[in-house]
Amino acid sequence: MKSTQWDSFQLFLQVSRLGGLTGASASSGLSPATIGRRMLDLEQEIGRALFARSQTGYRLTPEGQTLLEHLQDMEAAARKVDAWRQASSIGATVRIAAGTWVAWLLTENFAAIRKPGDSFAVSLAIGEARANLNYRESDIGIRAFEPEESNLAARLLGEVAYAVYVRRNGEEAEDRWIAVNEEDAISNYLRWPHRHAAGSIVAMVNRPRSLPELVRAGAGKAVLPCFVGDLDPELQRLGDELPELRHKQWIVMNNEDRHRPEIRAVADRMTKLLRSYGDLIAGKRCARK
C-alpha cells in the first residue's frame, strides 16, 4: 500500500468521523478544498462513491460505511503495533484530547500531569471536536457529556460556567462582539454570539485562544469560560453568567486501557487538578477586583 493512499484513508476517517470537510480541516491542518479534492481522488481510485454530499455535510454511502469498518480494523491494529513498539523502546505515550481551554489549563499546570521520574511521554491533542476514544485515537478525553458508549468509562469532574467578558473598565466596547468564525464555532459557547448578536459582531477569528487577546485590546466583548475570564486581571464579567451554556464535564477513558499504569496515573492527576479548580470552573468565584 502506498503511503499516499494511507494518507488519503486517514483523511477519509477524519471526514467520516467529523461529519464533513470543516472538522477534518481543523483536525488535519489542510484546507477544506484540499480535503474535498482528496476525497474525490480516493473515490475515483477505488471506483466507488463513498459520500453523499450536501450543504449540511458529508454522509457515508453504504460503500463508504464498509470502507470505514475495514479501516477501523486496520487503524486499531496499527495502534496496537505502535504502542508495542513504543513500550519496548522509548516508553509509552499517553494521548490526551481536550478542548482549547482545558488544554490551556493542563499546559499551565503540566508539572502536575507529568512528573520528572515518569517513564512515559504525554501527547496533547487540542481541538473543539469531541474526543474520540472508540478506536483509541486518544487514551484520555474531556467531554461535555457523559459518554453513551458501553466501552468507555467516565468520571464526573464538575460543571463549567460561561459569561460575557470585556476589557476591565472598557465600557466603550460593550456594543461590539468578537466571535469565532461560524464554520469553526463547534462548541455551544462559540455559537452563542452568532445566535444572539450576529449583527453586532465586528471581528472574527478561527481559534478560541484569540478571543481574550482581542478583548484585552478593547476590540469588543466575547463569551468565555468563567475560569478563563476570571483568571485574567485585564478582563471583567459583563452581567451575569449565561445559564443556558452551563454544562457538566467528564474525563473519559477506554475501559480496556484505563488500568494501564501510565494512563491511570495521568487520569488521576488530571482529575485531581481539574477538581481543584472546580469552583472557578463552575463560575463560583467572582472576577478579580
Residue 2 has what pLDDT? Answer: 46
Give SS3 for 250: strand
Contacts of 101 (CB under 8 A, 6+ apart): 208, 225, 227, 228
For residue 271, the model assigns a pLDDT of: 97
- Alpha-helical (H) ranges within the chain are 3-18, 21-28, 32-46, 62-88, 100-108, 188-196, 210-216, 226-231, 261-276, 278-281
Tell me the β-bridge partners of 178. 203
pLDDT at residue 6, as a whole number:
77
What CA–CA distances, in Å, run from 213 to 33, 68, 203, 208, 258?
A: 29, 40, 12, 10, 37
Whole-model pTM above 0.75? no
Domains of the chain: 3-80 (1.10.10.10), 91-160+247-281 (3.40.190.10), 162-245 (3.40.190.10)
- Say what the pLDDT of residue 140 is: 93
pLDDT given at position 86: 59
pLDDT in tens, the chain (289 residues): 444 477 888 889 889 888 788 878 877 778 888 999 999 999 998 899 999 988 878 889 999 999 988 888 887 777 667 666 655 545 689 999 999 999 999 999 999 999 998 989 999 988 876 656 555 678 999 988 888 777 788 999 999 999 999 999 877 677 899 999 998 898 999 999 999 999 999 999 999 999 999 999 999 999 999 999 999 999 999 999 999 999 999 999 988 788 889 999 999 999 999 999 999 999 997 544 4
Q: Does residue 126 sit in helix, strand or coil?
A: strand
Give residue 135's pLDDT: 52
Per-residue pLDDT, 152:
85
Q: Which residues of 123-146 are buried (b: 16+ CB within 10 A; e: fewer)?
A: ebbbbbbbbbbeebbbbbbbbeee
Which three-class secondary structure state does DSSP give residue 233?
Answer: coil
pLDDT of residue 98: 93
